[in-house]
Amino acid sequence: MKAARYGYVSAESAAQACGLLHDGGGMAKVLGGGQSLGPMMNLRLVQPELLVDVRAIAALNHCSATADAVALGAATTHAAIEDRKVEDATQGLMPFVASAIAYRAIRNRGTLGGSLAHADPSADWVNLMPLLDAQIVVLGPSGERTVRAVDWMLGAFTTVLRDDELISAVRIDRLSERARWSYYKVQRKAGEYADALAGFVSDPARAVCRGLIGATDGRPHVFAAEPLLDRWDADYAHTQLRAAGIKGDTYEYRIHAVALERAAAQLRQKVAVAP
Ligand SMILES: Cc1cc2nc3c(=O)[nH]c(=O)nc-3n(C[C@H](O)[C@H](O)[C@H](O)COP(=O)(O)OP(=O)(O)OC[C@H]3O[C@@H](n4cnc5c(N)ncnc54)[C@H](O)[C@@H]3O)c2cc1C
């Protein structure tokens, strides 16, 4: 099947893109890398009247770095992160995660902003950004606003983004050189969306110690990870799995529990360095 007829504009500025989205009244859609939108249009799950291509907008391609944080433009591709063509604030965590998103052809075109806007609960950035406590910068007709990644998703494929807004950048605080991280996905084959995923970041120099349970039916669950840092605490893990909305004694529960336990074990294998 092919997509229904649609119009196309390559926007030159964020203001032009927001204006087109506003005028489109919900029938205009942002085009990022097209790696999710394209298949959805071909299946006619969505039938926008106008695609507003945002890849040529300078602000969405701009990446900047300070001593404390890195800001990546929303049009940054998964491949650019994997290849470290943009600065990494995360001591290798983001390039590691990027390298296991789908297949290289998809990574060459798929974007950070597109993935966050799409908000598939099994996708990687929408789970990792809350673990990193990143901030998502959104542009709309009334200017710029910043949303904490933990507040981004309202549910599966649903975010706080409005129809006439676009994501312009993502700000990620730097981890220190002594930071430890782990990230574990359960997937049927390499390149497929995760059935379960879990991760940890421990960085005492930045007072960061978080765990993640992702690829649930809804929002990612980020929790205080201290009780799982030194040993496996099954009761605490169970409490967090239930808080993530995963029902006990099911196949789903088991794969999430395995992902969490393996991610915790991976973190423990990375020996902590005294601050
Ligand atoms: C076979 C396959 C396997 C995949 N496996 C994985 C995987 O393992 N992990 C993973 O994370 N992802 C996976 N993906 C998804 C892939 O990462 C996509 O690149 C991503 O979901 C969408 O990014 P995009 O830039 O292509 O966005 P598009 O497809 O262009 O757009 C997706 C949605 O986001 C909106 N949008 C795009 N850019 C913006 C913006 N800047 N501001 C506001 N809205 C915007 C669009 O309007 C649309 O609603 C897979 C995709 C395929 C086809």
Q: What is the pLDDT of residue 104?
A: 97
Residue 274 banded pLDDT, cuts 50, 70, 90: low
Alpha carbon separation from 34 to 54, 128, 238, 253, 265 (Å, rounded) = 11, 21, 38, 33, 36
Residue 142 banded pLDDT, cuts 50, 70, 90: confident
In the chain, the domains with their CATH numbers are 7-53 (3.30.43.10), 63-173 (3.30.465.10), 180-269 (3.30.390.50)
Of the candidates 214, 216, 215, the one whose C-alpha atom is nearest the C-alpha of residue 246 is 216
Q: Can you give the pTM of this predicted structure?
A: 0.96
> What torsion do the CA atoms of 117, 119, 124, 129 make, to the nearest 10 degrees?
70
Q: Look up tokens 């529990």; give the residue.
A: 257
Exposure string (b/e) for 69-106, b if CB count within 10 Å is 16 or more? ebbbbbbbbbbbbbeeebebbbbebbbbbbebbbeeeb
Q: What is the pLDDT of residue 272?
A: 66
Residue ID of nearest Cα to ligand 1 atom 39: 114
Average pLDDT, the chain: 95
Q: Please compute the mean of the pLDDT values over residues 163-191 and round it to a whole number.
A: 95
Contacts of 185 (CB under 8 A, 6+ apart): 100, 194, 196, 197, 215, 259
Residue 248 banded pLDDT, cuts 50, 70, 90: confident
> What torsion do the CA atoms of 99, 103, 107, 111 make, to the nearest 10 degrees?
-100
The CA 113 to ligand 1 mean position distance, Å, reads: 8
Residue ID of nearest Cα to ligand 1 atom 45: 114
Q: Please compute the mean of the pLDDT values over residues 238-258 and round it to a whole number.
A: 94
pLDDT surpassing 90 at residue 249: no
Structure tokens at 143: 């200017």
> What residues are in contact with ligand 1 under a 6 Å CB criterion?
29-37, 39, 54, 74, 101-102, 106, 110-111, 113-115, 117-118, 123-125, 161, 166-167, 193
Q: What is the pLDDT of residue 143?
A: 92
Structure tokens at 221: 């669950």
pLDDT digits (tens, 9 = 90+) for 199-237: 999 999 999 999 999 999 999 999 999 999 999 999 999
**What atom of ligand 1 comes closest to residue 113's alpha carbon?**
41
Residue 240 banded pLDDT, cuts 50, 70, 90: very high
